Amino acid sequence: MMRSTAQGVTDEMVDIIGRELYNGSRLVSVDGSVTVVGWDELDATIRESVRESIRWGLEKVFFMCNGLQSLEGLQVAGPECDTHPSDSAQVRLLQWSDEAIVRRAIARCHGKEMASEDMIRKVIQQGHESVLEHWYATFDIRGISRACLAQLTRHRIASYSVRSQRYCDESDAQAVVPDVPEPLRSRYKAAYRTAFGFYKELLDAGVPKEDARFVLPEGTLTDLILTMNARELRHFFKLRLAREAQWEIRELATRMLDLVREKAPNIFGDIRVEAAR
């Protein structure tokens, strides 16, 4: 039975290219002997694997020539791409300071032993936030996109330890699909499957992970450990909880605020999440 895709690639096309590529191929055995074979003499498993690679290449060409049209039903090499909803991020507070360190810092500025909780709110109202730099929090963040990570690392007074695409195999990676209408959502998923399929093909061909990663999309999920002091966190919340902020980092910032406000209400109690656009 002839197999065809939405892009018009058929098994007949694949076999024609296969015969051109493999007729007269030289196979070297482990004992050093050489056998000349044709396309039809290839082992069935090997031939089907090659077929899939040829088919994927043809579909990619059709895909580019058709200007991203007819993506629904596109057959691509590589595993099915699992996707997360927009609220996929998981945030956990690993460790945090006691507000007492801020109270002691305020007191030291005034030659005293300890300041009251009210003094924390007062110095914040006055804009004297340097004392907040003694308070810090460390977060375990999982399941944000690399696009979100790029925004997060704009905040430079912080420490980041991020899952490395140079050392980690991303063959089974997942990705964020934004809240877009159909059929655009299906096209998003098809594009992801193509990218992850090609990434896997590169690894199978012996390409190092540090080079194969260049094809991974911005939507690929990542994990990290993040540490920020309270002054930088307040600045981060001011920017990323604004209604103009991008939706994914806004959701991340909202979760982070919920966690630290519970532990340090006098430092973060005045921060509010603006209504979304």
Q: Which residues are catalytic?
A: 240
Both structure tokens of 174? 């997942």
CA distance 147 to 154: 12
β-partners of residue 25 are 37
CA distance 182 to 187: 8
CA distance 225 to 167: 17
For residue 183, whether the previous peptide bond is cis, meaning omega lies within 30 degrees of 0, is: yes
- Beta strands (DSSP E) in 55-191 are 83-84, 90-96, 136-145, 158-162, 175-176
CA distance 252 to 140: 12
End-to-end CA separation in angstroms for the chain:
52
CA distance 90 to 256: 10
Pair type for strands 34-37 and 158-162: unpaired
CA distance 170 to 223: 12
CA distance 76 to 56: 6
Dihedrals phi, psi of 224, to nearest 5 degrees: -160, 165
